[in-house]
Structures are given as C-alpha cells and as structure tokens.
Amino acid sequence: MIAPLPKILSNSEKVFDFVVNEGHGVKGLCDIGIQSLPKQYIQPLEERITTSIVITDDSIPIIDASNWDDPKVADQICEAAQNWGFFQVINHGVSIEVLDNIKETSHRFFNLPTKEKKKYTKENSVSSNVRYGTSFTPEAEKTLGWRDYLSLVHISDDEATSFWPTSCREEALEYLKSCDTVIRKILKLLMGGLNVREIDEEKEELLMGLKRINFNYYPKCPNPELSVGVGRHSDISTITVLLQDDIGGLYVKKHETNVWIHIPPVNGALVINIGDALQIMSNDKYKSVEHCVIANGSNNRVSVPIFLHPKATSVIGPLKEVLQNGEKPIYKQILYADYTNIFFNKGHDGKDTIELAKI
C-alpha cells in the first residue's frame, strides 16, 4: 500500500525511498498526484536550460540516407561528426511501423504496475544486463533527473529471451535487428573518414562489441522550469542511435560556447551522436558533444537510444590509421571497462570523463 502523499513528501529521505528504493520512479510521484517538485529535483541555475542560452537560428544537419552509396552522404556524415557531433538521418531504411511500435512498447513497459517493474531493479534483477531505474546514478547525484529508464544490454538473442521483460522483449530485439544495417553503414562511413578501409572482426569488437538499448520515460513534471530530465553529459559510446517521440526536449551544446540548440523531432528520423569512445579513437577529429534533456509539464515523453560500445575488455586509444601520417596522439590507451566505471560511478558532469583519458 502506498503511503499518503503528504507523508511521502514530508522529507527528502522518504521521497528518495519511494522513488528509488521502492521502485516507484518519478512516474510514481506523478501517479499519486504530486503538485510541486520535491527539492532533490530542483536543479541549480547553472544546470537549467533557459531561453537566454538557447539559440533558434541554427540546427544540426539532417541527412538523407536514401542512397548510402552516394559520396555526398559519406561527406555529410563525416562533416557533421567533426563539426557538430550530432546529426539526424532520414530515409534510412527502418520502417515507420517499427519506429512507432518501439515507442508504444516504451509506454507499455512504464505503465506496468510497480511490482512488475521492480523485478528489474539493481537489487532484484536476475541479470546485470537488465536494469530498471531512475535518474542516472541516484546515490551519487546531488540533484536527481526527472526520468525513469529500462536498460537492456544485448549479449545474445538467447540471453535476451531468458532475461529481458516479456512486455518488451520481442519488440526490443526486432528494433535492434532493424537498426543493424543503419548502424553498420554509419560506422563504415565514419571509419572511411579516418582512413580505415575495412572493419574486420577486431575493429567490429572495438566499435560495437556491446550493444545497449534503453527505454527512457520522462513523465509530466509539475515544475519543469526548475528541473531536467537528464543532466549535461556526453555519451561514452562509439555512437548512439536515438529515436525521439514527437514531443521534443533534447538539447545539444554548440562547440566551444555556452549556447544550446534544440533538436526538433523529425518524423521517421534517427538522431545520431558521436560518443567519447569514437572521439578518442579519432584523436579528436570526431567530437562527442554535451547534451541534455529538459523536463516538460504537458506530456509524458519517451525516447529509445541504442548505444554502441567497445567491449569492456577492449583497450581504446587513437587508431593507428589516424596516426599513420605522424599525427601525435592526444589520448592514452585506456581499458574501456575502466572508462565506463569512472562514468557510471558519479553524476553527470558535462565532458569531464574524457579529460581523464588525455595524455
């Protein structure tokens, strides 16, 4: 039985217990009729995205991928990776039906009773590759993000069939398979821009040795201007392939500035961004970029990112092909498992993690 709202909100410890330890998430706060934002969700001013730091006369590239073999597509993708770190692709080959289905699946999972979702929390999940949670790392964060999530690491279809939630298992596997060609095409073109002519088995493990699909849920927020869905960070992946719904809320930071640009939802588009791992491999030719998600007070929002990572046992550093003409390495060689441990054991902090990999 859920305690009355005033009792839950009576102190920060009770809110944390309700949201995190009892597994209700921020959706649970909305479900019991919360009218104002608990103080641990109120972000400091410097973390909020306000109109004074948002520009509306610029946007990330939208690339038509209807012909992957067109040299212009390769040029546009590599240029976007260098100058923006983000781009959208349209006419990529993944059907609208598949995209709509995975968004519906996201809503379906988060609308399950708490007792069902709680089976997949860190304390209860029978597999470390399946995780239901909230915010990012609640125990390490000073202020929490207005987001719940389900994270599924894909090791094999058999493993997924055994451990992933039945409410989204088939749809998540179908979505991963549907995006596989897009992922491989984009990685091939990006590698071509780094003088890598062939992605052999070793390179494939380095680029996409591990796949993770997330279902992100951002419920309506009572005071969205005071909070964020996800704080400022860069991804640690090689690349991330993100599906937005039609509500919007993703913002990216323009290089070397303190201004932010909204990435408006484009029907049928996939948002691609460069992660820290590829910035390191490219020796800074391609850039991972700070981004964040704002909260909103009108709609329940979902997004579905696929993160492509090196294997945990991979050692990442500037690729030899990048350095073959005498370019000096900016980054040291680092075990990817060590890099991920640093990232996941603290709250979001912009691009601080990648600084630790520099020589």
Q: List the domains of the chain with CATH numbers.
A: 5-355 (2.60.120.330)
pTM of the model: 0.93
- The whole-number pLDDT of residue 318 equals 97
pLDDT band of 4, cuts 50, 70, 90: low
* Whole-number percent of the chain with pLDDT over 90: 79
- The whole-number pLDDT of residue 258 equals 82
pLDDT band of 58, cuts 50, 70, 90: confident
Predicted confidence (pLDDT) per residue in 292-338, tens digit = 999 999 999 999 999 999 999 999 999 999 998 889 999 999 999 99
- The whole-number pLDDT of residue 46 equals 87
- The whole-number pLDDT of residue 148 equals 98
Predicted confidence (pLDDT) per residue in 235-282, tens digit = 999 999 999 999 999 999 987 778 999 999 999 999 999 999 999 999
pLDDT for 173 beyond 70: yes
Pairing type for strands 250-253 and 210-218 reads unpaired
Bridge partners, residue 20, by sequence:
none
Scanning 219-335, the segments in alpha helix (DSSP H) are 276-281, 320-323
Distance (Å, rounded) from C-alpha 114 to C-alpha 255?
41
Q: What is the mean pLDDT of residues 30-47?
A: 92
